[in-house]
Structure 1
């Protein structure tokens, strides 16, 4: 491949199938504070958002940063306890990224996750070695649907945004990719294909990575 290209992966729900555990841990966190939410609606409203954004939206916009950090840590401890025994990469993921790297494609992670959750997934599953760069919530000011995290990843890779394909599981993330000028592949770990029908930047919708063809993806750029 003569033209530089990149694949940029969301992490939660895209590299690992864990979004139900995030939702369950959020619901438990808020239940401890007398707040209840319907699980599907909560997921649709929050998937892709940073934890601090979710907390301020539901507990108050003026909560100090140090208190937000303590609250976010409480929620993330719950999440890691719930998901820890179930951690594994989505079917076909490691073969796919290994083949992409062999084909000369640059690889990045661009996630709304905080540093400890990135370590919990990428390092403890020995997945970080596949990527040229990892961008997380601590590296950007605005979470998805703002495009910041994807643009930061493209910048660090040295690849034009138009030559990047984003892999996502949530509408908020696909919208962030659209705003970044990037095409997207949807992994339907948590929502059906119909949830993404409005997005004109979606080029594939798949259940996992087993049937994705790297050559045809790159040809779409």
Structure 2
């Protein structure tokens, strides 16, 4: 297949921000005397802040609305991401090599503001022709809407798009959109990413494979 586009997830795929999301949430939870470990947080990776905020309100009986919890987390995350967000090893160099041969975009469950705080620090947005965030679609991953919109904005059919993802929900979304999916085990174990067409240990390995084979 002559692939013409690459659509990337952002958090946990291009940028090592999942620990920042986790720490921002833990800081908010501490205000309500809630403490959880890293293993507990793994179930929320790849899901929207809204889902976690609603769970805290509904099931953990936090005395605050989901809207308030989400806003507190966002403010905390923006401050932390603007200081600590960093691309995974090799990502910047390989994006620079790939951008001349592919149309490239991002499809992220993060909000416009969350993504902007990452780009403020990393400047990765300069590599992409389109960036689709949670604010632009009605249904987030694992629904395919985000990837369908990204391919449309790139002017490409879905079957000529590669996707690089790190979460089961993202892999499912891209496969349902009809795309060829490369998964990376930055955030989830290989067994949870079996729906992907290929699985790599690192983002650098996935991008290098694209560069070498296409």
TM range (shorter): 0.7 to 0.9
Q: CA deviation at 1:106?
A: 0.7
CA distance in 1: counterparts of 2:211 and 2:83, whole angstroms: 35
Quote the residue 1:204 is aligned against: 199
Distance 1:31 1:217, change over 3 A: farther
Query: SS where residue 209 of structure 1 aligns?
Result: helix
Residues 183-202 of structure 1: matches in 2 within 5 Å? 183-196=180-193, 198-199=194-195, 201-202=196-197
Partner Cα distance (2:213, 2:68) in 1: 42
User: How far 1:159 moved relative to its partner?
Assistant: 1.0
Matched-pair contact (CA < 8 Å) for 1:47–1:172: no
CA RMSD of aligned residues (A): 2.4
Partner in structure 1 of residue 27 of structure 2? 28
SS of 2:99's partner is helix
Q: How far 1:72 moved relative to its partner?
A: 1.8
How far residue 217 of structure 1 moved from its aligned partner, in angstroms, is 4.9
Partner SS for 2:71: helix
Q: What are the within-5 Å matches in structure 2 for residues 109-124 of structure 1?
A: 109-124=106-121
Aligned length: 208
Match of 1:49 in 2: 47
CA distance in 2, matches of 1:182, 1:35: 40
Q: Distance in 2 between matches of 1:16 and 1:215?
A: 19
Q: CA deviation at 1:109?
A: 0.6
Are 1:58 and 2:56 counterparts? yes
Q: What's the offset of the Cα at 1:36? A: 4.1
Deviation at 1:4, TM superposition (A): 5.7
Report the more deviating stretch, 73-82 or 171-180: 73-82
In the TM superposition, residue 74 of structure 1 has moved relative to its aligned partner by 0.9
What is the TM-score when the length of structure 1 is the normalising length?
0.83
- For the Cα contact (< 8 Å) 1:7–1:107, is it kept in 2? yes
Tell me what 1:151 maps to: 148
Q: Structure 1: which 5+ runs fail to align?
A: 62-66
Alignment-derived partner of residue 7 in structure 1: 6
Change in CA separation of 1:83 and 1:152 when aligned onto 2, cut-off 3 Å? same
Distance 1:161 1:72 in 2: 33
Matched residue SS, 2:182? strand
What is the DSSP-based 3-state SS (H/G/I as helix, E as strand, rest coil) of the residue aligned with 2:199?
strand
Specify every segment of 5 or more residues in structure 2 that has no aligned partner in the other structure, as ranges.
60-64
Between the aligned partners of 1:26 and 1:9, the Cα distance in structure 2 is 24
- Within 2, Cα distance between the matches of 1:134 and 1:217? 25
**Which residue of structure 2 aligns with residue 64 of structure 1?**
none
